Chain A
Amino acid sequence: MRFDHPPLEILVVDHDLTTLEMVQIRLDVAGYRPIAARSGRAALELLATCRPAALILERRLPGMCGLELLRTLAASPDWRAPVLLVGRKLAEEDVRSGMQLGVRDCLAKPFSGAAVLERLNRLLTRSTPAFAAARPAVYINT
């Protein structure tokens, strides 16, 4: 699935190399500009210089976990990007806490590339007026 929109930067934070590369490729082919980080600290360093349109975040990360990263980001007045929380067996409590910190949707692992793209497109349509306006009524299969 490919939407005709300007290339939006999407930050993907996941320690798992397989998922990270798969999501990066799918985002790239769909016309996004993926930025990858393998830890919360690495994500924070990247966020010092970029403002992604959305964040795809693994709940479990080494060191600073996904929710801790979101707590740090929530403390910043500039941070408004919607978050897609991903993970294996996401606990209801994590989802509830995440919702208060910018999580707009969740996706359980293992997931397909198509599923992550569909969720991201939906999340951006709801959260980013410019994206919704740029998105055509008909999408093109690739």
Chain B
Amino acid sequence: MTAPMTSRTLAPSMTTTLEVLAAEIELAGARCILLDRIIGEAMGRLPNEERDRLVPSLHTVDLLVQHLTNLAAFARSLSLATPDDVTAPVEAALSEITLGALVERMAQGMGRDGSPTAGADVEDAGDLDLF
């Protein structure tokens, strides 16, 4: 049997929950911006006809960046408009997340003490937790 990370049930405010969500979407957007740059650099080394073939895919990444930054803005704005005294039952929702590093970061952001994320390397972020 796996020991729980803490005996305390997480019940952060909806404001905090939305802030954490906004920050994660913003990070996903930043990673897409990085991906966009890498693809752009790689395409610069391709022959013209190959490059032309891939341009629509690059536009999809651009669109994804805008999609994520807009969703992050929405979550940020909603967090500012939400009363502090409304709590969010996040435990079940967090259990849906299969990325180990992501769930740890979010739980820590929502107030879980002693999260193993503390002291972890940035490079660990996004590791897929299969079990």
Contacts and interface: CB of A to CB of B under 8 A. Distances in A.
A111 B23 CA distance: 8
Interface stretch (A14-22, A47-55, A66-74): A14-22
Interface of A: 16-22, 24-26, 28-29, 36, 38, 62, 88, 109-114, 142
Interface of B: 19-20, 22-24, 26-27, 29-31, 33-34, 36-37, 69, 72-73, 76, 79, 105, 109, 117-120, 122, 125
Given A21-B125, A112-B26, A142 B33 contact: yes
B31 A24 contact: no
Contacts of B120: 17
Contacts of A19: 23
Contacts of A62: 118
Main secondary structure of the interface of A (DSSP, over half): helix
A16 B23 contact: yes
Contact of A113 (B19, B26, B36, B119): B26
B109 A110 contact: no
Contacts of B109: 16, 18
Given A17-B125, A21-B125, A112-B76, A29 B34 contact: yes
B23 A25 contact: no
Contacts of B117: 17
Contacts of A22: 23, 26-27, 30
Contacts of B69: 112-114
Contact of B22 (A17, A110, A114): A110
19 contacts: A16-B105, A17-B120, A18-B26, A20-B122, A21-B125, A22-B23, A22-B30, A25-B30, A26-B30, A29-B30, A29-B37, A36-B122, A109-B19, A112-B69, A112-B73, A112-B76, A113-B69, A142-B33, A142-B37
